[in-house]
Amino acid sequence: MPYNEIAGAAYRLATDGAVTRPKEWQVDLYKRLSDSTSEAGYLLIGPPGSGKLDSIVIPSLGMRRGGAPRRIFLIAKAGSPLDDFVYRFVPQLRNWAASDGTDRTMYIDGDDTESGSRFYSDGREETGFAVNPLEADVDLVLAPFDRFHNLFFGGGGVHGLPSALASPSSPILRRDLFLFNDAHEYTEDGFSRFHKLVEFLFAQDFDVIVMASSMPAAWREELSFLESYDIEPSETETAPVRLLSFTPQESAKSAFLTAARKPHSSGQRLIGVFESVAEAVNAHKDAVGETGPNVQLYHEDIPASERRAIYHSLRTYEKERQGYTLVTTAAALEASDLDASTMITGFCPPESLLLRAGRLNRRAQLPSSLLRICGEKLPHQTRAMNPTQREGFKVALAAADGRPFVAEDWLPYI
């Protein structure tokens, strides 16, 4: 059977039919990663919402019969919520377990959650139990970078990982795949620590994939030991329409509250993005009672179980074409798969702007959407830009005010 048909069947099963036909590059990665004899070392760069994550996870953890040669350590940026990973992959693990008669196990190490979940082939599920994430029968480990770093070295480093060992119930040999998500979001110091770990894992002959929406040229050079895999948008894909507005003299909070108080259609999804939890909590307090229904607060400091319930409700609103007004932080938004019709954010570096814009009209189902950028001061915790870079970026934003936002236009500023 041709690989496009095999990959198509795997994507339909994993996504409950939401994806009926994978893209050509996804079929190519499916072929590479479903081969149990192949090694993987890629720097995968593509626009937000292009399907990078599924293109790795589906061939690596999917149908166990005749494949699924890897288990995955999925590592997010430090401080990022894992809610979208849980929302996305729990249904996939259920489907795979039921389809091929092989149980699947997931381990979460993040926030206030350290627990395992097992999905049985007969439909039963077991959650919240203790499990050693370094055991060979664990299929998927989810952790932010800092927690993964502690887990990895606290478990004995490379010698603590039973790479490619068969689980007690299966003779299949599997390779360990370390998948780093949103690598472009590190600061200079954070990237140095991240780079050292990636280089070490690769030198130990583990499979390593680094994913990013964009990356400075100097950082790409640092990761040149990985094979570059750049995703180019297909000419047949519908590009999402996003209009840009830049108001350097207005604060994001003021612009958000003004927009939230205006009457809007029942399906509008308005998101206000703030850099800190304190700013988000303050803006939400002012918005509650003065706006329409479904006003939500979503940030990384909310207890994990409560936060995942909020995230689930937001995704449910989107599926049912209902609107909401959301106050969130940059860290929480950029780790999500949310789809806004209007987004208001403060000034931020271009790589962060690309990631936030990727959560606007994400599924290209709206005739147009609005990205409003307010202020002109960079948050202190982001990647530094020298005065010349910052001024050039501001001039470009001012020139683009009122025009469509095109991601490729901002790559030279990264």
Banded pLDDT at 298 (limits 50, 70, 90): very high
- Predicted local confidence at residue 169, as pLDDT: 55
- Burial per residue of 205-236, b for 16 or more beta-carbon CB atoms within 10 angstroms, e otherwise: ebbbbbbbbbbbeebbebbeebeebebeeeee
Banded pLDDT at 184 (limits 50, 70, 90): low
- Predicted local confidence at residue 173, as pLDDT: 65
Supply the mean pLDDT for the chain: 87
Least Cα distance to 260 among 230, 290, 226, 280 occurs for 290
Q: Is the pLDDT of residue 117 over 80?
A: yes
Q: Is the pLDDT of residue 82 over 90?
A: yes
Q: Is the pLDDT of residue 215 over 70?
A: yes
First to last CA, the chain: 43
Cβ 408 vs Cβ 352: under 8 Å: no
- Residue corresponding to tokens 């040669």: 69
Q: Is the pLDDT of residue 381 over 70?
A: no
Cβ atoms within 10 Å, residue 260: 23
Higher pLDDT, 74 or 289: 74
d(CA 196, CA 193): 5
Phi and psi angles of residue 118, each rounded to the nearest 5 degrees, phi first? -125, 135
Matching CATH topology for 3-230 and 243-413?
A: yes
**Please, how many CA atoms are within 13 Å of residue 7, restricted to the half-sphere of its CB?**
24
- Predicted local confidence at residue 177, as pLDDT: 92
Higher pLDDT, 402 or 69: 402
Banded pLDDT at 83 (limits 50, 70, 90): very high
Higher pLDDT, 132 or 10: 10
Letter for the amino acid at 388? T
Q: Is the pLDDT of residue 208 over 80?
A: yes
- Mean pLDDT, to the nearest integer, of 38-43? 92
Q: Is the pLDDT of residue 355 over 60?
A: yes
- Predicted local confidence at residue 1, as pLDDT: 67
> For the purposes of burial, counting CB atoms within 10 Å of the CB of 169, is it exposed (0-12), middle (13-18) or buried (19 or more)?
exposed
- Mean pLDDT, to the nearest integer, of 168-191? 73
- Predicted local confidence at residue 170, as pLDDT: 53
Banded pLDDT at 67 (limits 50, 70, 90): low
pLDDT-above-90 percentage for the chain: 56
Q: Which of 214-218, 228-232, 382-386 has the highest mean pLDDT?
A: 228-232
- Predicted local confidence at residue 359, as pLDDT: 95
Q: Is the pLDDT of residue 371 over 90?
A: yes
Q: What pTM, to 2 d.p., does this model score? A: 0.90
d(CA 313, CA 181): 24
Strand partners, 310: none
Cβ atoms within 10 Å, residue 79: 18
Banded pLDDT at 159 (limits 50, 70, 90): very low
**Please, how many CA atoms are within 13 Å of residue 35, restricted to the half-sphere of its CB?**
10
Banded pLDDT at 292 (limits 50, 70, 90): low
- Predicted local confidence at residue 45, as pLDDT: 93
What is the domain partition of the chain in residue ranges? Answer: 3-230, 243-413
pLDDT tens across 308-335, in order?
999 999 999 999 999 999 999 999 999 9
Q: Is the pLDDT of residue 268 over 50?
A: yes
Banded pLDDT at 410 (limits 50, 70, 90): very high
Banded pLDDT at 291 (limits 50, 70, 90): low
- Quote the CATH superfamily of domain 243-413: P-loop containing nucleotide triphosphate hydrolases (3.40.50.300)
Tell me which of 3.50.50.60, 3.40.50.300, 3.40.50.10800, 3.40.50.720 is the CATH number of domain 3-230: 3.40.50.300
Higher pLDDT, 36 or 118: 118
- Mean pLDDT, to the nearest integer, of 355-369? 92
What residues contact 236, with CB distance under 8 A and at least 6 apart? none
- Predicted local confidence at residue 163, as pLDDT: 46
* CA of residue 411 relative to chain centroid, distance: 19
